[in-house]
Amino acid sequence: MARIFITGSSDGLGLGLNAAKQLIAKGHSVVLHARNAQRANEAKEACPGAETVAVGELGTIAETKQLAAELNKLGTFDCVIQNAGLFQGGFRKTVDGVPALVNVNVLAPYILTCLMHRPKRIVFLSSSMHNSDDGNLDDVLWQQRGEQGWSDYSAYCASKLHNILLAKAFARRWPDVIATSLDPGWVPTKMGGSSATETADAAAETYVMLAEGEEPAAQKSGGYFRPSRQVATPKSITEDEKVQDQLLSICEKFTGVSLP
């Protein structure tokens, strides 16, 4: 059986918690994640079979580093699912001087992946919306455009392309780890809304497949997946190793966290 950590898994309507329940039902050990104590208590009530709930904000560099340290005290995981993400809500500048969305969607997965004990498998949550971004990395941190140029939609699409770039970069740099990315589809969560056309169960199938890592498709590092365990093809720029390395360099310089 596998031991799995899932970020952003405290929301009762969220895909992370849904996947956690299915993994626990199959006999796996799952550590949930919540951003504060209240959310942690809610997660425990919603998923009583979880091993524990790790508490920590992903909205700042310092707090994400602290969460990584606390997680390392729990030991090593077979799989880490970088599930947490923001979409709407505006610029919301953090103490690091960048939008909260950038901290949570891009910098936090990079920091946790670099600082946590290295797992066998890492899954980065992406979206088909990554296709709407052109892959230009000149202003990943929105320091040039600032709040005046902010767009929830554009920032989210870019971050989802960045998640695929991170998955492929780690897959290439760490041959001993299977790093993949996942588009969960348009599902009726708080983020997806009630008009969504796909099901949470179909998305959870892929979460579970990648977390377990037993199926042949899940054993190929660098892959990109959709609901119902479908192998898919992301935007071609995500295969560009120079672009992958550029994003790693941006994350490393800004966070002060070096790629092991």
The residues annotated with a catalytic role in the active site are 156, 160
Instruction: Count the Cβ atoms, other than its own, within 10 Å of residue 53.
Output: 20
Tell me which long-range contacts 254-257 makes (C-beta under 8 A, separation of at least 24): 254/61, 254/96, 254/98, 254/107, 254/141, 255/61, 255/107, 255/110, 255/111, 256/61, 257/65, 257/110, 257/111, 257/114, 257/115
Other CB atoms within a 10 A radius of the CB of residue 246 amount to 17
Q: Is 123 left (phi over 0), alpha (psi -120 to 50) or beta?
A: beta
CA dist 244 and 260 (Å) reads: 16
- 224-226 and 230-232 strand pairing: antiparallel
Rounded Cα gap, residues 171 and 221, in angstroms: 6
